A and B are shown apart, each in its own frame.
Chain A
Amino acid sequence: MPSLLRRTARGFSLPAFLAYLAVILLVALVPLVTRKPLILHMWIMVFLAIAQGAAWNVIGGYAGQYSVGHAAYFGIGAYTTMMLLELHQIAPWYGIGLAIANAVLLSVVIGSITFRLRGPYFVLASIAMAEIIRLATLHFKDFTRGAEGILLNGIPPLETPWFTVDFVGKRPFFYASLGLAVLVISVNWFVQHTKLGYYFQAIREDQDAAHSLGINLTLHKNLALGISAAFTAWAGGLFALYVRFIDPNIVFGIDVSVQVVLICIIGGIGTILGPVVGSVVLVLLAESLRNPKWLVQTGLASSDSSTIAFIEAHLSNAHVLFYGILVVAVVLFAPDGLLGLLRTGVARLKKQRAAEPRPAA
């Protein structure tokens, strides 16, 4: 343990840490400032997206295994939590724990099958695994209720010796999802700066070289997937409790898997901030195109803005089209994600400035 701490200290910088802390605290104050549920809802959606994106980043970004089947873990998290709560009256704070355990177990099974494959074969196998689980959940209705889904009636209050949390309204979910997002981002930080993470990254760069250096490929790929699956399932459990209704297509659908990958790639894959940037951009952009009026609530636009009226009148049917255009534009013009674009932009500016002859003082 002390050796681990020493090692983590390597990438640690106090000012950056304090800056992160300040941002988190600032965000945590949001529910005290605004009571508008829609704004809190958008934050919750962003936090859950960050948690999912950052969780995927561990296996996809750092270990370089592009799973397009993370819906399997998201769904197993959602289903375990909901089935325990709704069918067996087990409170969700235990339920999510079991959900995480389930997801890790599942990741071992999926990993033992898919990690034998590489490149596009791995991608396709991961999709196939998620689809198998979705189809099985739909078919075995006696166990899962199939396509009818699970409707949540209520969440029991969480009683601790100090306080009681009632899961009514947005606030508890705001803090739960914020906490999860911060936790997964921290995990990303550890992955980037510890020996374990270096192993992951070595596997990403060159599997065979990593193997010849004595890195146990199977063990480390499975570790990365296990960590990723655990947090994805956690996010899935929270999502289910928050939305209060799930069915197999909502939580196991392939669009869940694709969305997570999009978040990371659009933000910047294999970076700590990438999933954060990707989530903010994708979730908020999708929402602004679907419902431009929410910008009025945030105070970002005035209620008589003609742009908003224009979007509403002409583009509300086309919001997915714009989403597609954004994806294509990012791949073509910012292949390293928005964060990468920012970085190269800054680097270019610096270079330019260095190259320019300094004006005489």
Chain B
Amino acid sequence: MTVFLQSLLSGILVGGIYALIGIGLTIIFGVMRVINFAHGDLLMMGMYLTWLIFTYLGLDPYASLVLSAPILFLWGALLQKVFINRVLGALPQNQILLTIGLGLIMSNSMMLLFTSDYRILTTSYSSSSINLLGLSISQPLLYSFLVTAGITAALFWFLQTTDTGQAIRATAQDRDAAQLMGINVRRMSVLAFGLGTALAGTAGALLAPTYYIFPQVGGSFTLKAFVVVVLGGMGSIVGATLGGVLIGVTESLGAVYVASGLKELVVYVLFLLILLFRPAGLLGKSKA
């Protein structure tokens, strides 16, 4: 029973970070209909930025978010303006290719700048835990989970209540209609990509105290982000949050009750099952 509860708990907490990665991707997909294969590389940029700030300014990874998130927002906005914007109407395979290319450029530039060696960021709480009723709660994961919850709530509020947020949602629902309504669709795309990048980077920052950093770290997270987004329904923020937690829990329980080496496989099987039986995702609206 302890084993079950303990793995369930770790699964939920790790799922929070997956959710954050997924939310960034889902906003980008929702507004632009572009599958961003460079998402994991954006996360990697966030990790390096956090590491730099931690190493040279001595700022705690969580505190450094106030610096790194805006920088990444600008970076994302720039990428959108210079590159992604040009392929918005293009064939989907060309969009995929473009983001793959951008990902390769980012990871290999970082390799040239920082070498391919691993960076480890050690904080005082990197391996600390709180003991509660015989269960251990990882401190860094708990902090990350709280930050994620806060960001998700803020984002939800932003998209539901502010004018800009509503304009982004309108663009996501129907680009052409939004344009007719006088919404500056291009601006919304820049905002969305910036936001998505900042969220990916934030996830990177949250992972930094417990994980390790190297130029190719993004790859596995890109795939995971896709799964999260599709599970939740493309474009749905609440869906991505649920999807992230669901995947965290599936991995965790899969490792215990199936096999450690098969936990990712279990996730992909779940992913395919959902695609087949609920193609719009758990919370997505099915499109005619």
Contact = CB atoms under 8 A, between A and B. Distances in A.
Interface string B255-269: 000010110110011
B6 interface: no
A327 B105 CA distance: 10
- Most A-side CB within 10 Å, residue of B83, B93, B105, B112: B93
Contact of A138 (B93, B103, B261, B279): B261
Nearest to A141: B261
Contacts of B102: 324, 328
Contacts of B83: 328, 332
B268 A128 contact: yes
Interface string A314-340: 000110110111111011100100000
Nearest to B265: A135
Contacts of B279: 116-117, 121
- Most B-side CB within 10 Å, residue of A66, A128, A262: A128
A341 interface: no
Nearest to B90: A335
A9 B276 CA distance: 42
Contact of B264 (A68, A123, A131): A131
B38 to A, nearest CB: 10
| Category for how many chain B residues contact A | 35 or more
Contacts, number: 118
Contact of B111 (A127, A265, A317, A326): A317
B105 A68 contact: no
B98 A131 contact: no
Contact of B269 (A132, A139, A327): A132
A136 interface: yes
Contacts of B86: 332
B92 A119 contact: yes
Interface in B212-246: 219, 223, 226-227, 230, 234
A348 B92 CA distance: 26
A327 B259 contact: no
Interface of A: 60, 66, 68, 113, 116-117, 119-121, 123-125, 127-129, 131-132, 135-136, 138-139, 254, 258, 261-262, 265, 269, 317-318, 320-321, 323-328, 330-332, 335
6 contacts: A124-B226, A125-B275, A131-B264, A139-B262, A262-B100, A324-B103
Minimum-distance CB pairs A-B, first 9:
A324-B104, A327-B101, A321-B108, A328-B101, A324-B105, A135-B265, A139-B261, A331-B98, A128-B268
Interface of B: 29, 33, 35, 83, 86-87, 90-94, 96-98, 100-105, 108-109, 111-112, 219, 223, 226-227, 230, 234, 259, 261-262, 264-265, 268-269, 271-272, 275-276, 279
Given A66-B93, A332-B86, 11 more contacts: A124-B35, A124-B226, A124-B230, A131-B223, A135-B262, A138-B261, A318-B108, A324-B103, A327-B100, A331-B94, A332-B98
